[in-house]
Amino acid sequence: MNTNNLTVLEKPNVEQILLEEENRKREREREKEKERIFRRIVRNKFKSTEGEEVPTKVRERKDTNMMFRKIGVISRRKEYLLNLVCQVIRNVKSKVCEDTMYCGAYNKNAERNRRSITSQEVFERESKYGAHNYHPLPVALCKAEGVFMWDVEGKRYYDFLSAYSAVNQGHCHPRIYKVLIEQAKVLTLTSRAFYSDALGEFEEYVTKLFGYEKWLPMNTGVEGGETACKLARKWAYTCKGIPQYQAKIVFAEGNFWGRTMSAISSSTDPSSYGGFGPFMPGFEVVPYNDLAALQQTLADPHVCAFMVEPIQGEAGVVVPKDGYLKGVRELCTKYNVLWIADEVQTGLARTGKRLAVDHENVKPDILILGKALSGGFYPVSGVLANDSVMLTIKPGEHGSTYGGNPLGCRVALEALRVLEEEKLAENAEKLGHILRNELNKLPKNVVTLIRGKGLLNAIVIKEDIDAMDVCLKMKDEGLLAKPTHGHIIRLAPPLVITESQIKECADIISRVISRYAK
């Protein structure tokens, strides 16, 4: 055999082969590490826009690119995507920080930015660009938590109004806030053209909690009142047999349930109805806390409903005599008239019971709820009734685009659970007695009456003393309250207030009121 033409095979270099394989393995690991880092950055950046804590320092684009280059040269495609992500993050960063300063992550830089405006500038801007339909106390608020609120200069106040009892659970309650954020990520509004997975769950909870068969969702308290009136009239014609368009609804003097045309048509307060006529027909008024007058009115066969607040809030926290609500229930049953209880302000633990009517263990035919139903996070209201009333309204006859929306339902469900699980009605009952005991020590030549139930109370002062002036002095001392009807000051703190806090507030009120003693 001629061996000259044979190719001599070199002996394989095993070490070289292993080294090359190890380099290829390391290169694959570097590529995987770059991919993991990229995904982690994208994930973390977008998490900060969803309500989680914002990182103290958000890396700039070139800093992030440098981190990649420490591992290896990143591809142009990845660099382009990374630059795009970082640009989005920079655009939303300031908005995220500003929004999260109130609940969850608290950002001091956002607070300083928010406080760059003065209270006076806030007042002037609202006066210039806003309608002049309110007369606010001169305080410009920018933050609240629990029982406290802060103005733009950073001064802290006790809140003794609770947004007219809309924040019974305390400002920015973390449980309700968490539910709001979680639901807002997935579904906020469907309209009632479609079903949602949230409405039925809330309807089941609220009907079982209050002992009714049906719930009709709305948004604001006055919409709840309008809904109750429509239900009553529909029931009058389809069930009671009142001739068409002759049904009457009776209201109590001093009532307040909103500022729509229907609401002011039932009002006896000239500041509400003056200059807005003509008014809704079919409304009548009887004296509040007067069962004899009510009986005489309900005897009219054309009367279909009597709507009343168990305690009149806007009228000055007017508490009826014991037995009044029980008498209302008996008279409405006797004359086949629907009893509509407006519990928008008095309900949901405010007066020391789940509902104010629970103090006399009576049940209305129609129950209106609102305000604290969402814990101050979102407008939610509605009406509870049994099938005999609720099912008189058919599809297309009543509704609301936002009523029953998924976001509102989730928020309201958690708000009710907070009231129940944190036993806020019991806290209101206990601390209400303590507050009234302290207030009854105020000088009698200034304060003529203390009244209320739970943590819905009022100080009635002598008419020659300006209640707004008293509230301004309390503001200076760190407590926010507002007059109602001139010489009456309503006191309604969030129900999460503690005993030591209620006593501190009573001391503030006492110091201010004592200045007017002669």
The catalytic site residues sit at 256, 342, 371
**Token pair recorded at residue 355:** 């509902």
Buried b (16+ CB within 10 A) or exposed e, 459-473: bbbeeeeebeebbeb
Are 146 and 495 in contact by the 8 Å Cβ rule? The answer is no
Cα 27 from Cα 19, distance rounded (Å): 12
Cα 36 from Cα 26, distance rounded (Å): 15
Are 263 and 225 in contact by the 8 Å Cβ rule? The answer is yes
Cα 229 from Cα 210, distance rounded (Å): 20
Cα 119 from Cα 193, distance rounded (Å): 44
- Rounded to 5 degrees, what angle do the CA atoms 345, 169, 123 make? 75
Sheet containing 338-342: order of strands: 214-218, 381-385, 366-369, 338-342, 303-308, 248-252, 283-286
Of 348, 339, 398, 393, nearest to 373 (Cα)? 348
Cα 384 from Cα 209, distance rounded (Å): 11
Three-class DSSP category at 377: coil
